[in-house]
Structure 1
Amino acid sequence: MAVDTAGEHDSIVAVDGFGTLGKVWLGFLGLLILGGLFAWYQQLQLGLAATGMRNVFSWGLYIMLFVLFVGLSAGGLIISSAPKFFHSDEYESLARFGVLLSLAAIVVAGLLILPDIGRPGRIYQFITSPDLRSPMVWDFAIVVLYGLFNVWYLWLLTRRDLAARGSALALGTDDTAAGRDRDRRLAFWSAAIALPLAVMLHSVTGWIFATQVGRGDWFSPLVAPTFIAKALVSGLGLLLVAAIAADRLTNFEFEAELRTRLGKFLGVFLAVHVVYLVAAERLPHAWAANFEFWAITSGFLVGETSFFWLWTIVGGAIPIALLAIPSLRETAWAVFTAGALAVFGVIFEGVRLIFVGYESVNLSMAPGVSVGEYGGLGSTIWAQTGVYTPTLIEVAISLGIIAIGALILTVGLALLPIQHRPTDVRADGGGEE
């Protein structure tokens, strides 16, 4: 992908491949991936005892990040596909970028399933002997289907430009005016599939939590709608952060007017998610437990953990304030900061959802749940409250998998015509760069 290297900053992508900064970045990602592979080898040797998870905390960092990246992927695809479905050409420049980002995120989410399984060699049983009563089977199926769809959708959006460049990635596709018209129609129908598929993806993930009768914090019909809302927040937030960074570091161009308009949308999504859905979820519980005004008010306004405040204030109120001021919303740094804080908030909403949700054992009577550890005189193998801290092995594996997603995004920006340019189409049916 040709890049103007005459700019004032070093570029990740150069005319002949990757620039100096790009090679450093690729090397850094490679180190993270190798570190993750080594940590996973250690985990396979030691078993899940190498993680901080136990019988009380059977879900930990891997599942928390899985939920996060499923949401990032679903939100990114919704934001990218909705304009195509409604024939809104003003967002065309961001469609390919959004699908590439969605693909990278769903690959990360899918790979996070592997270290969470004690024996990943048995993952084939999802296909050979699935238990259709299990939400995890449906989640695995929709993740695989969704990932394959992202590959097809990205290729559909870029194949004519790839053909115009003579790229082998065009897979024999010819660049013709008739072919581009046909692809525009296919893109519309693909968007029509992408939107419900993205909603299904994160709804199924939400229902996994919502159907856990023994977990009072999860057993709620609002979990799936809340997951969709936070997918829109985190997906658009990441899209804005990545697009602004790509605009600075590659040849991708992110128009200031489009950036400002999407910043408005992010502010609206944040308000609905953080303000309305928090009240909708917490107020009925607070009302049922208390009947004094302050007791009811504090029941849904005052968080019981620091994670609640990191989500609602740092990840909600501050970015809303940045995006609500027109003069700030027009600046790249404010939109970038708001997007980053929105993703940060959703991360800690996931921490609150899983880590806090597992603290209380769903057994009210002693001795509790066996944690499988005995420290000697005066200790016990039973627990009625859970404590979980991710180990270095979990962190290293997670960083390695996230680095794979970053690698997909980086290489995609270098090899694929992610920037949509209407002038690439010639009247004679050919293409030009």
Structure 2
Amino acid sequence: MSETTSTDGFGTPGKVWLGTLVVLVVAGLFAWFYQLSEGLAVTGMNNVFSWGLYIMLFVFFVGLSAGGLIISSVPKFFHSDRYDSIAALGVLVSFACIVVAGLLIIPDLGRPLKAIGFLLSPDFRSPMVWDFAIVIVYGLFTAGYFWLLTRRDLAARGSRLAFGVKDTAAGRKRDKKLSFWAAAIAIPLAVALHSITGWIFALQIGRGDWFSPLVAPMFIMKALVSGLALMLVVAVLADRFTRFELSRELVPELGKVLGIFVAVHIVYLLAAERLPHAWADSFGFWSITSGFLVGDTLSFWLWTLVGGVIPLALLVLPSLRRQVWAVFTASVFAIVGILFEGVNLIFTGYDQLNIDAAPGVTTGTDYLNYGSNVWATSGSYTPTIVELLISLGLVALGALIVTLGLRFFPVFPDETVETHTRRERPDAAAADGGQARTDGGTDE
């Protein structure tokens, strides 16, 4: 194999895509340096809203990562080879998402050196410590898991990324057993990752919107929705723009699973969480019904209508579910819905202080830039351009990881390469780590 570390295998569209991602990452770095020099005052956060866009996206990307890893690992745990063609892709996406999630903690801390405290003087009574630890362990595990799934194909191509591993029949058989044990670890690890994140919210004193035993199960369910939806979106895009091939037989199957996940999350768990609260507030039939069916914020409707009703409408009919565009559209809407569930969770669930008596706390900002700080028992939050640039830069970094992973790693089994005729894509990124050829093969 004539392995290269350049962008020669990407073509013009690929190089434009890479350049755009690099520009966004650099812009995010400059915004972060500015935040470091000026402090958290340049963000929209204050003493009322001490969590904002960074934590909202942290929860979102942890869910994307956990869901993707669970979906990729369950078939391997049950010794099914049917979904092998997307297993490595799912783990790659999961790794990219946990990198983004972990890095989002850094700008939220304000001072990066605060993270050392988690390592040198951890307070194990705090769920924050457990979350910080499991994010690190989970990130290292997903990186190793992805290498395990691709190392024999890397060795077959003579790639240095195989790190001395040889491609043998006995080795592939051994890796199949190892992938079962890796899946056995991955599933509970992913469940623990997002459950702990959910418990952080559920254990916050005085935050009534979060105080529920169903927070962790809802976090797991939205991880399954968003993780599978992101896998489908990336797989469809990779099939279109790279030499990765998505089996058309898997699209309706995975679409059906996504529809089930959305229904359980939106129809059942949402009602199960909101109904007891509505019942406690009023014993009137309509008051109870409206209490758990009707939301009072736009983010609630974007979550339930855009992220629930529309995907279900596209996925419930078999004739539509067989169409790639329908499954792709439903997946995009499902991801958007989960994103706005996070907005609803933090931006509306964090506006009331757990201090209900005047004067409350200072907001941390001056009124019209003069006079004393404003005292309040509730607040509002709007992300600043600094927060948006930093967040966008980190999301671009995740996309860059996936793009380079598709370019330099074989994200589909070797059998797929041997038994399928590759379509001619002269400008596509070579998803198997080799240079694209007009005959559909590789340069090995």
Structure 1: tracts of 5 or more residues without a match:
3-12, 426-431
Q: Which 4+ runs in 1 deviate beyond 4 A?
A: 13-16, 376-380
Q: Contact conserved, 2:205 with 2:354, CA < 8 A, in 1? A: no
Distance in 1 (alpha carbons) for counterparts of 2:326 and 2:156: 38
Q: Contact conserved, 2:85 with 2:416, CA < 8 A, in 1? A: no
SS at match of 1:393: helix
Q: Give 2:287's aligned amino acid.
A: A
Q: Give 2:162's aligned amino acid.
A: A
Partner of residue 340, structure 2: 348
Partner of residue 280, structure 2: 288
**Deviation per CA, 1:186-242, whole angstroms, max 9, x where unpaired?**
000000000000000000100100111210011111000000000000000101111
Q: Please point out which of 236, 253, 268 is paired with 1:276.
A: 268
Q: Contact conserved, 2:361 with 2:377, CA < 8 A, in 1? A: yes
**Deviation per CA, 1:42-100, whole angstroms, max 9, x where unpaired?**
10011000100000000000000000000000000000000000011110101000000
Partner of residue 387, structure 1: 380
Once the two structures are superposed, the pairs formed by residues 299-314 of structure 1 within 5 Å of their partners are 299-314=291-306
Q: Please point out which of 84, 93, 98 is paired with 1:92.
A: 84
Partner of residue 317, structure 2: 325
SS at match of 2:365: coil
Per-residue deviation, 1:362: 1.4
Q: Give 2:36's aligned amino acid.
A: L
Identity %: 67
Distance in 2 (alpha carbons) for counterparts of 1:165 and 1:237: 31
Partner of residue 405, structure 1: 398
Q: Give 1:414's aligned amino acid.
A: R
Counterparts in 2 of 1:183 and 1:365: CA distance versus 1, 3 Å: same
Q: Please point out which of 241, 246, 262 is paired with 2:238.
A: 246
Moved more, 288-297 or 365-374: 365-374
Q: Give 1:416's aligned amino acid.
A: F
**Deviation per CA, 1:103-155, whole angstroms, max 9, x where unpaired?**
00000000000000021123122111111111111001000000000111011
Q: Contact conserved, 1:161 with 1:424, CA < 8 A, in 2? A: no
Whether 1:129 and 2:156 are equivalent positions in the alignment is no
Partner of residue 5, structure 1: none
SS at match of 1:405: helix
SS at match of 1:89: coil
Q: Contact conserved, 1:97 with 1:418, CA < 8 A, in 2? A: yes
Q: Please point out which of 192, 195, 214 is paired with 2:187.
A: 195
Q: Please point out which of 409, 414, 421 is paired with 1:421.
A: 414
- Superposition TM-score, scaled by structure 1 size: 0.94
Distance in 2 (alpha carbons) for counterparts of 1:145 and 1:299: 40
Distance in 1 (alpha carbons) for counterparts of 2:11 and 2:371: 61
Q: Give 2:387's aligned amino acid.
A: E
C-alpha root-mean-square deviation of aligned residues, in Å? Answer: 1.9
Partner of residue 329, structure 2: 337
Distance in 2 (alpha carbons) for counterparts of 1:424 and 1:246: 15
Structure 2: tracts of 5 or more residues without a match:
419-441
Per-residue deviation, 1:346: 0.3
SS at match of 1:373: strand
SS at match of 1:136: helix
Q: Give 1:68's aligned amino acid.
A: F
Q: Give 1:210's aligned amino acid.
A: A
Distance in 2 (alpha carbons) for counterparts of 1:106 and 1:326: 34
Whether 1:225 and 2:214 are equivalent positions in the alignment is no
SS at match of 1:361: coil
Q: Give 1:397's aligned amino acid.
A: I
Distance in 2 (alpha carbons) for counterparts of 1:424 and 1:258: 17
Q: Give 2:286's aligned amino acid.
A: W
SS at match of 2:367: coil
- Superposition TM-score, scaled by structure 2 size: 0.91
Once the two structures are superposed, the pairs formed by residues 163-242 of structure 1 within 5 Å of their partners are 163-242=155-234
Q: Contact conserved, 2:153 with 2:414, CA < 8 A, in 1? A: no
Per-residue deviation, 1:255: 0.9
Partner of residue 33, structure 2: 41
Distance in 1 (alpha carbons) for counterparts of 2:405 and 2:351: 41
